[in-house]
Amino acid sequence: MAAHFLDGEIRNATPEEAGIHVIPVPLEASVSYGGGTAKGPEAIIGASTQLELWDGKGIPAELGIHTMPPINCDGPVHKVLDRIEDAVAFAVECDALPLVLGGEHTVTLGALRALKQRYRFGVVQIDAHADLRNTYEGSPYSHACVMRRAVEDLGLPLFQIGVRALSADEADFRKESEIPHLDARALHLSGIPKKILPMDFPDRIYVTFDVDGLDPSVIRATGTPVPGGIGWQDALTLLERVLDGRTLIGADVVELAPAPGDHASDFAAAQLAYTLMGLLPVTE
């Protein structure tokens, strides 16, 4: 079992010297359809041992990567969120950029809380689902509610990309809240715009990437795969254009639910995490 991200290729840098902190959060407190997200961080870190260090533009690993021990996910969800918040705050104190590995999408909220203490920023969500429900199965902290909490509770600007499954209530909330979006259907019909974010969107960006935002042909090991998603190369282009002229202050990769024999999904999620690392120095 890999002990840290890129184990066997690089050493686990100390927190103080690392430019990137990888924060594994094996949280699986709410499940809509298929389970398994608790095993996501371990699978991503394991698959990372097979990545090439050169990402096509540079070697993100040269920034130094510190992989923290997995966050303790026992107890109530709000306690887990507190632990995530502390871990992300520590990364910021070390002048490192936090990369959270889920786990279910709820983990994003802990990271956003920590970053809001220091920055004015906006959230870019790449996802098949809007995650704008007020509650789901009785909980306001379900993975299906995480972006509602970000907008309503934290007051963060949000831009959604790739959504292709949302409820009528979510559609109404998105319209009432004037949340800008580039849904999967619009991407299919019109392609990727040169400029994606509104001019008045904050310069600092947090990217939350639910792997079900990608088409199931790229990653099928996720709880609720939805057809008609984003292709791999389009995802890379979207990330580059979203961050053009802006600064990435943190990111997460969530909702991988590893399946026996499906090494491709684990590898794609690990490659996605490393790709995000490669965008950090370019925009900082």
Annotated binding site for Mn(2+): 105, 127, 129, 131, 210, 212
- Which pLDDT tens digit goes with each residue over 178-205? 999 999 999 999 999 999 999 999 999 9
Q: What is the pLDDT of residue 283?
A: 37
d(CA 267, CA 66): 20
User: What distance separates the 2 farthest-apart alpha carbons in the chain?
Assistant: 50
- What is the per-residue pLDDT for 1? 66
Residue 284: its pLDDT value, please?
40
Distance CA 48, CA 205 (A): 25
CA distance 185 to 159: 16
Number of residues that this document lists for the chain: 284
- What was the pLDDT predicted at 280? 78
Model pLDDT, residue 30? 66
Residue 158, amino acid: L
Token duo for residue 17: 């010297």
CA dist., res. 16 & res. 151, Å (int): 32
Per the listing, tokens 């090991």 go with 221
Tokens of 118: 């220091």
| Known binding residues | 105, 127, 129, 131, 210, 212
pTM for the full predicted model: 0.96
Which H or E run contains 206?
strand 204-210
For the chain, residues with pLDDT lower than 70 are 1, 30-34, 281-284
CATH 3.40.50.740 given to domain 20-283: no
- pLDDT, position 2: 82
Per-residue confidence (pLDDT) for residue 32, from 0 to 100: 54
Contact 262, 269 (CB under 8 A): no
